[in-house]
């Protein structure tokens, strides 16, 4: 069974992340969101639901706790670069007086284009932001937030990570679902077609 999610390659994902202008607060936020998509394989809805309490500090490392479909929870350790991007973003969020239930990712305030509101960002806003960032980076607009799940699955399986570990990372109940996101067979097919001697 082959999934229909459009692909994004590691090279394209890197190009996208590097293209974000972080001289303004919105760029710092967008890099943190795109990094979360890239390095966790989380669904866009789970990213939009993140609260301040879901960013957990264990001293030696930090993690994000995601609430997925049907209320299933999973916790993912943060890569060093993603941790730094989240920290840079949080320095710009004025959460003074807000509790740990306050949203992690927020839209810009309507009153000020340099401050964030206290509301949570919606999945549709993340999708729109991704399209804008793809356009700015000169990347195919067919890429969706779900494309990053295929990237994570394929990349880790190519590196020999056991499918059970990849399955847990992306929050699938069954390995067969994880295999739908595996794009290694598509790469073989493209390589074979390129060898046709015409």
SS3 readout for 91-137: HHCCCCCCCCCCECCCCECCCCCCCECCCCCCHHHHHHHHHHHHHHH
26 Rama class: left (phi>0) / alpha (psi -120 to 50) / beta:
alpha
Q: Which residues pair with 116 in a beta bridge?
A: 108
CA distance 33 to 47: 8
* Active-site residue set: 43, 69, 146, 149, 172, 181
Q: Nearest to residue 152, comparing CAs of 74, 75, 39, 44? A: 39
For residue 110, give every residue at least 6 positions away whose Cβ sits within 8 Å of its Cβ, in sequence order, or none.
Answer: 117
């Amino acid at each position: 069974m082959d999934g229909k999610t459009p692909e994004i390659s590691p090279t394209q994902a890197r190009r996208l992340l590097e293209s974000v202008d972080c001289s303004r607060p919105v760029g710092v936020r967008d890099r943190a969101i795109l990094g979360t998509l890239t390095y966790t394989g989380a669904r866009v809805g789970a990213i939009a639901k993140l609260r301040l309490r879901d960013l957990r500090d264990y001293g030696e490392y930090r993690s994000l706790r995601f609430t997925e479909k049907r209320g299933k929870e999973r916790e993912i350790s943060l890569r060093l670069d993603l941790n730094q991007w989240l920290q840079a973003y949080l320095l710009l969020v004025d959460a003074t007086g807000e509790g740990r239930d306050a949203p992690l990712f927020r839209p810009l305030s309507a009153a000020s284009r340099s401050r964030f509101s206290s509301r949570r960002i919606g999945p549709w806003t993340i999708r729109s932001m991704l399209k804008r960032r793809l356009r700015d980076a000169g990347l195919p607009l067919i890429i969706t937030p779900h494309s990053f799940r295929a990237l994570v699955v394929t990349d880790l399986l190519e590196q020999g990570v056991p499918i059970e570990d990849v399955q847990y990372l992306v929050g699938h109940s069954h390995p067969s679902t994880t295999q739908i996101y595996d794009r290694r067979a598509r790469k073989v097919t493209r390589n074979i077609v390129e060898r046709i001697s015409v």
